Chain A
Amino acid sequence: MGTRNLELEVMRYDPEKDKEPWFQSYTVPCNEDWVILDAINYIKDNLDTTLAYRWSCHMMVCGSCGMMVNGEPSLTCKTFVRELPDKVRIEPLENFPIERDLVVVLDDVIQKLHQVQPYIIRKDDPPPEDQEYIQSRGSLAKFKQLTMCINCMCCYAACPQYSLNKDFIGPAALALAHRYNRDNRDQGKSDRLDILADHDGVWDCSFVGACSEVCPKHVDPAAAIQQMKVDGAVEFWKQKMGIPGDKS
């Protein structure tokens, strides 16, 4: 198995010692089949145990290992070394405050995920205990893609509107709201409307589309947000004309 020496330039920041972040270089002998997370783990195991970073599953389902790889928001367990040049710059996810080294503060986004009420909201009674909700494959197809989000926050790192305005609720939160609005078991669209229709909700998005481009799970939050804008515009005119909105 061939190995290639990669030079990793990794952003470091010690909150107790450093005034600002700086770069440290490491030379890592990488196997052909490695992902960049393997290289970072190599640094931790063999070169520098002080390096702090998040990772867990190593299989693109936990969303922990998001970082900037040569300026691109990436899941480091999904970014193959064979697709990278010899020099690789590793930085913490853009648009988030740096806690330490490659660890970022995610409080803002976690709070926004809560804000959209990401759970089934019922106005009618749920089906009786011995029955289930009826959901056809067609109904599931309407929102299944949106359920794939692993909360890696690469979309927030890519979104320029979020970088310019931290009040913007952002791609993952909006995609999550849309996931429930599109779920036929849910009847909470009107409950979510206030947050979404607010000027820091869907309207802050200018359809740059970077979020969908970087999303490792192909959730396509940009599409979700545009659909919500259409929904919002249609809903406005329906209200004006006195047409009752659907319960969901």
Chain B
Amino acid sequence: MAIAKKAVVWGLFAAGGTLSSFVFPALIALFLLIATGNVPNGLQFEQFHTFASSWLGKACLFIVLFLSLWHAAHRLRVVAHDFGIRKDTLVANTVYAVAAIGTVLAAFYLFSIS
């Protein structure tokens, strides 16, 4: 039913957009810091591994990745449409597949950190 699919996808988009708007600047800033060669304590293997082993750490990382992936996927679908690529079903399936793969990988990697 039309409302079902679009409502769910939009919900993920909205939640992911809110979360990524709040979290991604800090994330990019951390990558910037790493790029200068100054790796902060919390991102040394010991500390970060411990954080990612905890259920709280896993939950945080997974939720951020899951929602951000689906947010980006849905938006890229709209971007494709805005740039004249009108094969919406093909685009939708592609972007959502990418998001799904990312989600599965996130779950897999997080699960295997113990």
Residues of A bordering B, CB below 8 Å = 160, 164, 193, 197-199, 203, 206, 229-230, 232-233, 235-237
Q: Are A233 and B10 in contact (CB under 8 A)?
A: yes
User: Given the complex, which residues of A lie within 8 Å of B82, measured CB to CB?
Assistant: 160, 164, 206
CA distance A199 to B9 in the complex (A): 12
CA distance A235 to B82 in the complex (A): 28
Q: Main SS of the interface on chain A?
A: helix
Given the known A-B contacts A164-B81, A164-B82, A206-B78, are A230 and B3 also in contact in the complex, defined by CB atoms under 8 Å?
Answer: no
User: Given the complex, which residues of A lie within 8 Å of B10, measured CB to CB?
Assistant: 203, 229, 232-233
Q: B1-37: which residues lie under 8 A (CB-CB) from chain A?
A: 2-4, 6-8, 10-11, 14
Contact of B6 among A160, A197, A230 (CB under 8 A): A197
B61 shortest CB reach to chain A, Å: 25
Give B4's nearest chain A residue, CB to CB. Answer: A236
User: Given the complex, which residues of A lie within 8 Å of B2, measured CB to CB?
Assistant: 197-199
Q: Are B7 and A232 in contact (CB under 8 A)?
A: yes
Give B6's nearest chain A residue, CB to CB. Answer: A203
Give B8's nearest chain A residue, CB to CB. Answer: A236
User: Given the complex, which residues of B lie within 8 Å of A193, measured CB to CB?
Assistant: 3
B71 shortest CB reach to chain A, Å: 13
Q: A206-B78, A233-B7, A236-B8 are in contact. List 16 more A-B contacts (CB 8 A).
A: A164-B82, A193-B3, A197-B2, A197-B7, A198-B2, A199-B2, A199-B6, A203-B10, A229-B10, A229-B14, A230-B14, A235-B7, A236-B3, A236-B7, A236-B11, A237-B11
CA distance A203 to B11 in the complex (A): 11
User: Given the complex, which residues of A lie within 8 Å of B14, measured CB to CB?
Assistant: 229-230, 233
Give B7's nearest chain A residue, CB to CB. Answer: A236
Q: B57-95: which residues lie under 8 A (CB-CB) from chain A?
A: 78, 81-82
User: Given the complex, which residues of B lie within 8 Å of A236, measured CB to CB?
Assistant: 3-4, 7-8, 11
Q: Are A232 and B78 in contact (CB under 8 A)?
A: no
User: Given the complex, which residues of A lie within 8 Å of B3, measured CB to CB?
Assistant: 193, 197, 232, 235-236
CA distance A9 to B4 in the complex (A): 49
A170 shortest CB reach to chain B, Å: 16
A4 shortest CB reach to chain B, Å: 40
Give B81's nearest chain A residue, CB to CB. Answer: A164
CA distance A160 to B78 in the complex (A): 12
B24 shortest CB reach to chain A, Å: 19
User: Given the complex, which residues of A lie within 8 Å of B7, measured CB to CB?
Assistant: 197, 232-233, 235-236
